[in-house]
Amino acid sequence: MAQHAASTETSYQNFIKQIIEADAVWGLTKGDTWATSSSAEFEDTEVILFWSTEEGAAACAEDEWAQYNAESIELVEFLENWCVGMYEDHLLLGADWGTDLSGNEVEPLNVALDVVTQLKAKGKRLEFTQYDSQDEFEEQLIEALEGEE
C-alpha cells in the first residue's frame, strides 16, 4: 500500500511540474460538460479530471467518455477560475488519472498552492488577471487553507 501511495505522489508531483512547463492543463469535454468521476475517498463528492498532457486526456476518452475531446486550459485560467471555483463548489481535482480511472484526489486549492510554490522555486511568474500579483494569489490561497483548519 505504501508503494502505491508513493507512486501516486510521484505521479502528482510530475503532474505539477508538467503543467508548469506546458503552461496548461488538459481535460475532457463534450460541449459544456467536463469529465468527472465519483470520489473513491469521499461519499457524494465529484472529482473533475485534469491531465498534464493532451495524450493523457485523450487516452481516457473511452466508454462513457468516448464522445469527449481533449481540451486545454491555460495555467492562469486553471488556477484563478478552475481551482478557486472547484474549491467553492466542494469538488476535488483528479490529477493525471490513468485509464483505469484511479489516481490522486486533491483539494483544488492545494493544487494551486503546489503550482505557485513550484513557480517560485523555478523563478517563474505568471500574469494573473483577477489578482494583483502571483504573491497576492498565494496569500489568498494560504489564508483560505488556514481558515479550514
Confidence of residue 1 (pLDDT cuts 50, 70, 90): very low
Q: Which residue, 62, 82, 80, 78, is CA-closest to 131?
A: 80
Q: What is the pTM of this model?
A: 0.91
How does pLDDT run across 103-130, given as a tens digit for each residue?
Answer: 889 999 999 999 999 999 999 999 999 9
Q: Are 93 and 83 spatial neighbours (Cβ–Cβ below 8 Å)? A: yes
Q: Per residue in 58-105, pLDDT tens? A: 999 999 999 999 999 999 999 999 999 999 999 999 999 988 888 889
Dihedral pair phi/psi, residue 131, rounded to 5°: -130, 150
Residue 15: CB atoms within 10 A of its CB come to 27
**Rounded Cα distance, 5 and 22, in Å:** 26
Q: Is the pLDDT of residue 149 over 80?
A: no
